[in-house]
Chains A and B, each alone.
Chain A
């Protein structure tokens, strides 16, 4: 049994989620046929355990991201069960390929076992759904929900030329001012809420972020009321994140916020209200004002890192 894996890359190297897709397939006894869009990171993919072969799909259609062109080019070499990351681009390519092949798509699964049976959170984590897949399907995997496959292989690489119509054009790139890590990419996130008092006080969170290499996030209130950029918002109408550590400062924990961060591996909550709902999902809680806790956190972390 082989699954088709559509790789995601970060420039010339594989995105860590690609390793997770391959191990998810191996865990149910499937070999991986890895498709590398535009041939990027093909030789890296060929060295991962569990990979049967790598198919480099190359062509001008990968010059910009157009879900229509990418899915048309990649679909030609897909077969059977197709695994792809539940990243924004992965979801879009996956949905297109499923519609093209007239097969179902299951987005954002967090576990897969033999059968094939998968689970996915629904209603923003208020319930979990178990589904059985009896034939071909596209399955997208939540980043960081699966272990990474190890290196140690030498699989063959085939190169396939494809062309596809690009239906959109990039008119203008608008760079963001901040060079800070994006919340969806970060392994550690420190987020602030209304309890921070004002947007200026986020500089204290940025200091912590600099020490541990974290991204800075925000609750909806801060984005809506104080004008913090929406890309920083974690929660129902913001980003869903799954870092190793999520630090919530001055965030009470509205159900919409919890929906975006409750799957984090570890959660540290700092809040002056001992009854704040955020403590209900936190692994570690500190009842304190941020004014007292953040300087203490800064010095403890600096000491650790020095």
Chain B
């Protein structure tokens, strides 16, 4: 229960210890249909078996990259955690290929909404004793953005969203987030969850050795029962998934001489200028 200890110590510059001691970095990942993949609907539901390629959600890749850089700078263990079906294990192996040390797969059996997922992720963060939690600002399937703040709420710690980088300075964790004026540098006194926007760093690609090592890596498979989490029912039910409403064909003009016509249509038909 490393986390619990750290939360209690939060007013005593918890992160000072990281200068001399390794820390555990948890990165929460989600596997989603690749953003280029076609989505097919059959019988009122997205047919996942027809998704040609599953990938790590794009913002999660930035969280993972930042976690790897943090590990390289200060030492420590990177714990990649996902909650999902069996297929999500492949993504954990991909994370191992670029440097994740511990791979944790939580079965999504019994999960009915995102609050359930957050409970499981938060319980796993505690179980594996993470000192800091990184995730993407939202996943590319639902684009919700609930995971980071929700997990932080359950852990009773701070959360900073839309961050582009996370650093240590003078024994404190600092991060950069957007503000109404531009950006601002924010510091935390204790444990925190950081939800990443697209960062400035280039994402690393796995090398052959990384890929070979990752294949041998053991994935710890756990269930809600192992974590002692009761999921229960949900107040929401999925009725259907449908293709997006078709858009009427637009009006197309050949050549710049039609610009005045289009401008007058923007004013008189569309009423937008």
Binding site for B on A (CB under 8 A): 66-68, 71, 88, 91-96, 98-100, 102-108, 117, 120-137, 167-176, 188, 212, 230-231, 233, 236-238, 240, 244-245, 255-256, 259, 265-269, 274, 279, 281-289, 292-293, 296-297, 300-301, 304
In whole angstroms, what is the CA distance A220 to B252 when docked? Answer: 25
Shortest C-beta distance, B78 to chain A (Å), equals 22
Residue B208 lies at the interface, judged by CB distance under 8 Å to chain A: no
Interface of A is mostly: mixed
- The contact string, 1 if C-beta is below 8 Å from chain A, for chain B 112-137, is 01110010000000000000000000
Residues of A within 8 A of B147 (CB): 95
15 CB contacts below 8 A, A to B, read A67-B149, A88-B145, A92-B159, A129-B238, A134-B236, A167-B188, A173-B182, A173-B185, A174-B184, A175-B181, A176-B183, A265-B270, A285-B251, A288-B259, A301-B263
Residues of A within 8 A of B262 (CB): 268, 284, 286
The stretch that binds A, out of B12-20, B32-40, B81-89, is B32-40
Residues of A within 8 A of B188 (CB): 167-169
**Which of B234, B237, B266 is in CB contact (< 8 Å) with A284?**
B266
In whole angstroms, what is the CA distance A130 to B241 when docked? Answer: 6
Query: Which residues of B231-273 have CB atoms within 8 Å of chain A's CB atoms?
Result: 234-245, 247, 250-260, 262-263, 265-267, 270, 272-273
A284 adjacent to B265 (CB under 8 Å): yes
**Which of A124, A129, A168, A292 is in CB contact (< 8 Å) with B241?**
A129
**Which of A96, A100, A188, A236 is in CB contact (< 8 Å) with B140?**
A236
Query: Which residues of B74-98 have CB atoms within 8 Å of chain A's CB atoms?
Result: none
Shortest C-beta distance, B73 to chain A (Å), equals 19
Residue B178 lies at the interface, judged by CB distance under 8 Å to chain A: yes
The stretch that binds A, out of B64-72, B100-108, B150-158, B215-223, is B150-158
Shortest C-beta distance, B166 to chain A (Å), equals 13
In whole angstroms, what is the CA distance A289 to B256 when docked? Answer: 8
Please tell me the size bucket of the interface on B. 35 or more
A285 adjacent to B161 (CB under 8 Å): no
Residues of A within 8 A of B150 (CB): 95-96, 98-99, 105
Residue B49 lies at the interface, judged by CB distance under 8 Å to chain A: no
B187 adjacent to A169 (CB under 8 Å): yes
Q: A168-B158, A284-B251 are in contact. Are A301 and B273 (CB under 8 A)?
A: yes
**Which of A170, A284, A287 is in CB contact (< 8 Å) with B186?**
A170
- For the complex of A and B, 4 pairs with smallest distance between CB atoms: A176-B182, A167-B158, A135-B235, A292-B256
Residues of A within 8 A of B151 (CB): 99
**Which of A91, A98, A103, A265 is in CB contact (< 8 Å) with B272?**
A265
**Which of B39, B115, B265 is in CB contact (< 8 Å) with A103?**
B115
A91 adjacent to B153 (CB under 8 Å): no
A131 adjacent to B236 (CB under 8 Å): yes
Residues of B within 8 A of A300 (CB): 259-260, 263
A130 adjacent to B198 (CB under 8 Å): no
Residue B225 lies at the interface, judged by CB distance under 8 Å to chain A: no
B236 adjacent to A173 (CB under 8 Å): no
**Which of A93, A167, A240 is in CB contact (< 8 Å) with B157?**
A167
In whole angstroms, what is the CA distance A212 to B192 when docked? Answer: 43
Shortest C-beta distance, B119 to chain A (Å), equals 8
B182 adjacent to A286 (CB under 8 Å): no
A92 adjacent to B187 (CB under 8 Å): no
**With contacts A121-B143, A255-B36 known, what are 18 further pairs, Cβ within 8 A?**
A67-B152, A68-B159, A88-B145, A88-B162, A91-B144, A95-B144, A95-B149, A105-B144, A131-B239, A137-B235, A167-B192, A171-B184, A172-B184, A173-B183, A174-B184, A255-B35, A259-B35, A286-B259
**Which of B41, B157, B253, B266 is in CB contact (< 8 Å) with A245?**
B266
Residues of A within 8 A of B157 (CB): 68, 167
In whole angstroms, what is the CA distance A75 to B176 when docked? Answer: 27
**Of all chain A residues, which has the CB nearest B265?**
A284
B258 adjacent to A104 (CB under 8 Å): no
Shortest C-beta distance, A298 to chain B (Å), equals 9
Residue B99 lies at the interface, judged by CB distance under 8 Å to chain A: no
In whole angstroms, what is the CA distance A15 to B156 when docked? Answer: 30
Shortest C-beta distance, B228 to chain A (Å), equals 16
- Interface-centre pick from B35, B41, B188, B259 (highest chain A CB count, 10 A): B259
Residue B46 lies at the interface, judged by CB distance under 8 Å to chain A: yes
Residues of B within 8 A of A173 (CB): 179, 181-185
**Of all chain B residues, which has the CB nearest A66?**
B158
Shortest C-beta distance, A134 to chain B (Å), equals 5
In whole angstroms, what is the CA distance A94 to B36 when docked? Answer: 30
Q: A71-B153, A170-B186 are in contact. Are A274 and B250 (CB under 8 A)?
A: no
**Which of A96, A107, A176, A274 is in CB contact (< 8 Å) with B144?**
A107
**Of all chain A residues, which has the CB nearest B181?**
A175
